[in-house]
Amino acid sequence: MYQLPTDHWIVLDTSVVRHTLRGCPVNGLDLDELRQRRGDRPVSLSSVAMVELLDDLRRGTVSISEWRALVPRLELLLDAEFPFIPNGRQLRAMLGFAADQPGISEDLRDAWTLLKGVRSTRDLSRTRVVTVNGGHRRLQPSQVHKALTEARDSWKQFFIEVTEVNGGPITKNDRAEVRAIITRNLQLEPHHHGRLDAVVAALTQRFFEYGRSNGYQPTQNDAMDFAHLFVTALPAAICIADKRFVNFVAQLGVPDVFVLSPRDLLAAL
């Protein structure tokens, strides 16, 4: 087993948080062991977790009592300045790919204060401020699921548009052009390309599978998972309980990209 470099951030996906609060020995994390092994590596939640956990609490798929029991244990781990790693414009600014976004860490601390402070269903009836694609929206909890649906629809539309630009389903011979389309869509400078090799390789592979009989069908869960690949440019290790996605990224063969199950993360530390 390789060792996770000491300069890597550790970012926890929503699925890991869900399994951890339920005490799952396979897909959950031993938070005490993580705290002992992480060294100086900062730990954060993904910004996707902000929206998904709020939706879980609203719908009751995660109980408020379960969440309240986990919060103190998480708070011992999470980076004080960046309890969440942002997405969209804020993440691009953190990576140096876009102009600075003042107040990022303050926004993320406010988001954590909001989420950890849920104590009752009354808290979930108030207007909440959430980050979606790097922008802030004031949403009622009943509208959070709508935001997730919009992310899924945007993901599906991306595949439709790139396929139309290509003139039909992607073939092996088209891959270089598809990579170029994706890179242009990401609006990257040439010296940034290598840091997002995992994103470009993953999208190219999915486009190759898309549009075929029994091929890839974009889903909301995939839209959320792919958002995490941008975080690997920090650099960071993504801890996720979705074995299918872990295996998919491993098969891409992109070096120095760490998308790990909870067990493999602890082993890599």
* Highest-scoring range by mean pLDDT, 1-10, 36-45, 58-67, 177-186: 36-45
Residue 167 lies in a domain: yes
Domain range holding 175? 13-264
In this prediction, residue 193 has a pLDDT band, given cuts at 50, 70 and 90, of low
Residue 2 lies in a domain: no
Q: Which residue, among 36, 78, 28, 53, has the nearest Cα to 261 in the 3D structure?
A: 28
In this prediction, residue 192 has a pLDDT band, given cuts at 50, 70 and 90, of low
The angle subtended at Cα 103 by Cα 76 and Cα 232, nearest 5°, is: 60
pLDDT of 224 > 70? The answer is yes
Provide the H-helix boundaries in 13-121: 14-21, 31-37, 47-59, 64-75, 88-95, 104-116
How many other C-beta atoms can be found within 10 angstroms of the C-beta atom of residue 111?
Answer: 23
The angle subtended at Cα 7 by Cα 188 and Cα 75, nearest 5°, is: 100
Q: Which pair of tokens denotes residue 8?
A: 């890597």
Cis? peptide before 83, omega within 30° of 0 = no
Return all residues near 254 (Cβ < 8 A) that are at least 6 apart.
197, 198, 201
Report, as an integer, the average pLDDT of 185-195: 68
pLDDT of 35 > 80? The answer is yes
pLDDT of 205 > 60? The answer is yes
Residue 5 lies in a domain: no
State the pLDDT at residue 239. 96
Q: Which pair of tokens denotes residue 80?
A: 């004080």
Residue 269 lies in a domain: no
Amino acid identity of 220?
Answer: Q
Q: Which pair of tokens denotes residue 93?
A: 């600014």
State the pLDDT at residue 191. 62
Sign of CA dihedral 12, 243, 132, 255: positive
In this prediction, residue 143 has a pLDDT band, given cuts at 50, 70 and 90, of low
Summarised one tens digit per residue, pLDDT across range 75-118 is 999 999 999 998 877 888 788 877 777 777 887 888 888 888 88
Sign of CA dihedral 215, 202, 52, 76: positive
Distance CA 244, CA 233 (A): 21
In this prediction, residue 73 has a pLDDT band, given cuts at 50, 70 and 90, of very high
Residue 3 lies in a domain: no
Number of domains present in the structure of the chain: 1
User: Which DSSP string corresponds to 213-255?
Assistant: TT-B---HHHHHHHHHHHHTTTTEEEE-S-HHHHHHHHHHT-T
pTM of full prediction above 0.85: yes
Report, as an integer, the average pLDDT of 133-156: 70
Residue 8 lies in a domain: no
The answer to whether the beta carbons of residues 70 and 19 sit under 8 Å apart is: no
Distances (CA, A) of 234 to 87, 174, 251: 12, 30, 21
SS3 content of the chain, % helix, strand, coil (to 5): 55, 10, 30
Residue with the larger pLDDT of the pair 266 and 195? 266
Residue 28 lies in a domain: yes
Residue 141 lies in a domain: yes
Distances (CA, A) of 108 to 82, 89, 111, 119, 263: 6, 13, 5, 20, 27
